[in-house]
Amino acid sequence: MSSGYVPGLEGIVASQTAISMVDGENGRLVYQGYVIADLAEQMSFEEVAFLLWEGRLPNRSELDALSLELAGHRTLTQAANITLDALPTDTDPMDVLRSVVSVQGVEHRLGKPSVPLAIHATASFPTILAMFNRTQLGLEPIKPRADLGHAANYLYMMNGKESSPEMV
């Protein structure tokens, strides 16, 4: 007699989405109709973020505007920096994110989920994680740079030097 018990989430629909599709049998992940491997190879982080938020790829002016907006939200507030500095260096990175993002949410009163909120979070997450990582390593945190793309800035903040285009 079978108990019907299946470990994990096999066969369980946890949610439905129009944004992505997992084709496990063929090893494909698709975002908004684009295979993720193609996006990773051919598009910038900013282009893929725009695709996820808006359902289409951006034109040049939209991409430039998003890049500027992301760059403008990378710097943490004073309260967020104080919170980050107060956390023990052995804190789990997810707990670091939760704590600092909570402080920023109170400061900015960001409200309900929206594209502006997603942009703000997307811009600040790498700053939070890179600064904390360097602190854990006993290194001085590096401030974000607005002249670098999103991924390039994150790598710069983690490593202390600019990365090659291939790395980005």
Do 37 and 111 fall into the same domain?
no
Decide: 153 and 140 in contact? Cβ < 8 Å: no
User: Is 85 inside any structural domain?
Assistant: yes
Q: Domain check: are 131 and 108 in the same one?
A: yes
**Domain coverage including residue 45:** 20-58
Split into its structural domains, the chain has a count of: 2
pTM of the model as a whole: 0.83
In 10 A of CB 34, how many CB atoms? 16
Q: Is 28 helix (H, G, I), strand (E, B) or coil?
A: strand
Token pair in block for residue 144? 């974000």
78 and 38 co-located in one domain = no
Q: What are the C-alpha distances in Å from 164 to residues 38, 70, 111, 144?
A: 20, 21, 37, 17
Residues 38-95 have pLDDT tens digits of: 999 999 999 999 999 999 999 999 999 999 999 999 999 999 999 999 999 999 999 9
**One domain, residues 47 and 83:** no
In a domain, 166, yes or no: no
Residues 99, 43 share a domain: no
Distance in angstroms (rounded) separating the CA atoms of residues 81 and 71: 17
* Residue 148 forms part of a structural domain: yes
What does the alpha-carbon distance between residue 100 and residue 75 come to, in Å, rounded to a whole number?
A: 12
pLDDT in tens, 124-168: 999 999 999 999 999 999 999 999 999 999 999 999 999 998 888
Please indicate, yes or no, whether residues 93 and 39 belong to a single structural domain of this protein: no
Q: Are residue 51 and residue 118 in the same domain, yes or no?
A: no
Angle made by CA atoms 116, 67, 29, in degrees to the nearest 5: 80
The pLDDT, as a whole number, for residue 3 is: 61
